[in-house]
Structure 1
């Protein structure tokens, strides 16, 4: 019946009319589905703290979903629409076949796509909620914890996205009667080749993941990695970047790390020794050192960096000229050197004021006395 209505029109007019009808229907269906998804997402977001990046990602995902639905619906309806306007085609779906397909494979494809989108979105919301909770914590290292949470969150989101998308795509292809056996075989071969060729890369990524997960080192820490020390400037899943005191940048793969020594984890100690004369009373020297540390604890410039009074460990060693008194100061991470250098500067000044004698090297100089020359023997006559 509908074919008779357009029988007198030129071919291009009927084709254009079919395209307009299909685009209009595809747009309406995509808009309807996207509105339903918006309502569903808003209900889920009520239980999650507001996060601008998550909202932007959701809007971008909805736009992608709208475009995909429009294309899919257009591809499905174009041939039945052409048949309705009198353009015969040997390929495509008839209205009867279309109805049968929509109630069978089409419905299953829609459910697969919807479930995949829901899984990806729920994982993104959970990660955003965890990042929000870490970001609102009131700890000293809240910034670094937030960075670690974002790194792990991004890794988890990307992994889930790739896995769910791949599985969903394979299931949809199977519903479209596409033989996925060659795809699976090819993917297995490619995965095997990549596994053999990128063993070190995989090892670096796995080591970096556990390094970040276990919070072994963070950006801003001072660490020594296999004999190379410096400030940690950046941590990725593959490498750690250190900058030493000369400004040299060291890039260390995570998979090659055998020993990592973090010098600024939670707190730090400045350990040093002070040498005094062997004649000095070590108890008096200890009292002078404690008084200098107590003075620094009352100084508003250095008190925030100190986590306790001076701890004198005792006499470390002595010889015929000097006694070494060993001590340590507990300080905020990365501030132990600032505190220690100021402490030693004040110790020298206090020793001068209190008359504490510093060791002086004693040297014994032996001077050999010259032997007088014997008189010359006269020649025999």
Structure 2
């Protein structure tokens, strides 16, 4: 008989311990550095503190001197470009601030590296390790993303501004200037999201589950924030259909003013009192645009019944024609001056109407000058305008007491006189 063979089981290799993550390695490196600094003697630590102070003071002097040079350069640029548009100066200031931020970041990193070298920490070897290389990549991603965001904004604004200046149609130029901030916002948002995802990847986080969660969260937010989506889509249609552009004079919800800016969600009006009115696009149900393609100034002129209306109409026509031939105001008027005639007969005046068709946003300048000239012409031609007066009768005190005893006083009716 043969003995039953017992099956031999292969020996399983011991499980490898999990490798420490990026965060754990970073904490271990920092802890080792702190232990190394704590283990120094008093004399060595004192010398290192003095050297550290010298490095910091020298770096501060360099930063201060560079700031003075940058301020002087910006002052010269501003003086030389005093006639340049404000947006060009704003872009120059923004580029200078970004350059200054990069310079300070580079100086800070240089100071940190020198200080670590002073305290005996080999930064070159540390940066060559996996933790150091990942930190370098993170810093490069942040700097590159910031630079791309600023570069995208500058490039889009530059291109849109160039297209607007070369456009022969003023309306098209206004539409391009309106579209510029929206394109800039979209491009910068995409770059910021991509940069954030890249940073999360470098930190060792899995982006897939985060994106899946963001998708579900986006659906939930979409149901709860329908007004925001409505504002965004309404704004896109307003710009695409050229209903309103930056620089137009419009009225929305009883508020009138000049369109100062149009963002992804709101339209902003600045009225004559410098009050800023901000409307979400969803609330701009009805927009009254006074300056699209052309503008019009409608003059309503009341005159007295005692005047010769034919003569009055001739005077109004003469004043309007003279204004159209004026060297300053003539280019603002695009069509012949129109006297519409008698509009209505009121109790104390005959109301006449006349109209100017002007270049957009110039109707008020034309109307003010027309009113000034018309007043002078009426004075010269002795044309009467209605003036409502209320007569006041003075009574002796005894008569007032007697009238009060007999009954309530009767107020004399209002009369209308002409001057």
* TM-score normalised by structure 2 residue count: 0.49
How far residue 363 of structure 1 moved from its aligned partner, in angstroms, is 7.3
- Check whether the contact 1:222–1:264 (CA below 8 A) recurs between aligned residues: yes
SS at match of 1:301: coil
Does the C-alpha gap of structure 1 residues 219 and 239 become closer, same or farther in structure 2, counting only changes over 3 Å?
same
- Check whether the contact 1:243–1:249 (CA below 8 A) recurs between aligned residues: yes
- Check whether the contact 1:307–1:332 (CA below 8 A) recurs between aligned residues: yes
Looking at structure 1, the residues matched to 224 and 255 of structure 2 have their Cα atoms a distance apart, in angstroms, of 28
- Check whether the contact 2:167–2:173 (CA below 8 A) recurs between aligned residues: no
Task: Work out whether 1:245 is the aligned partner of 2:245.
Answer: no
Name the residue aligned to 1:274. Answer: 301
Name the residue aligned to 2:382. Answer: 355
- Check whether the contact 1:152–1:213 (CA below 8 A) recurs between aligned residues: no
Looking at structure 2, the residues matched to 155 and 367 of structure 1 have their Cα atoms a distance apart, in angstroms, of 72
* 1:296-341 C-alpha deviation (Å, 9 max, x unpaired): 1121121122122221222111245421101111112221111111
Task: Work out whether 1:222 is the aligned partner of 2:249.
Answer: yes
1:289 to 307, 316, 322: 316
Name the residue aligned to 1:145. Answer: 175
Matches within 5 A, 1:191-202: 191-202=218-229
* 1:95-145 C-alpha deviation (Å, 9 max, x unpaired): xxxxxxxxxxxxxxxxxxxxxxxxxxxxxx999989865652212345423
Looking at structure 2, the residues matched to 319 and 132 of structure 1 have their Cα atoms a distance apart, in angstroms, of 54
Looking at structure 2, the residues matched to 314 and 299 of structure 1 have their Cα atoms a distance apart, in angstroms, of 24
SS at match of 2:386: coil
Deviating above 3 A after TM superposition, structure 1's stretches of 4 or more consecutive aligned residues are 125-135, 151-163, 178-185, 360-368
RMSD, aligned CA: 4.0
Looking at structure 1, the residues matched to 207 and 394 of structure 2 have their Cα atoms a distance apart, in angstroms, of 99
Task: Work out whether 1:329 is the aligned partner of 2:351.
Answer: no
2:287 to 237, 256, 260: 260
Matches within 5 A, 1:126-145: 135-145=165-175
Matches within 5 A, 1:96-107: none
How far residue 160 of structure 1 moved from its aligned partner, in angstroms, is 7.9
Gaps of 5+ in 1: 1-52, 54-124, 374-381
Name the residue aligned to 2:231. Answer: 204
* TM-score normalised by structure 1 residue count: 0.53
SS at match of 2:272: coil
Gaps of 5+ in 2: 1-90, 92-154, 403-419
Does the C-alpha gap of structure 1 residues 254 and 361 become closer, same or farther in structure 2, counting only changes over 3 Å?
closer
How far residue 152 of structure 1 moved from its aligned partner, in angstroms, is 5.4
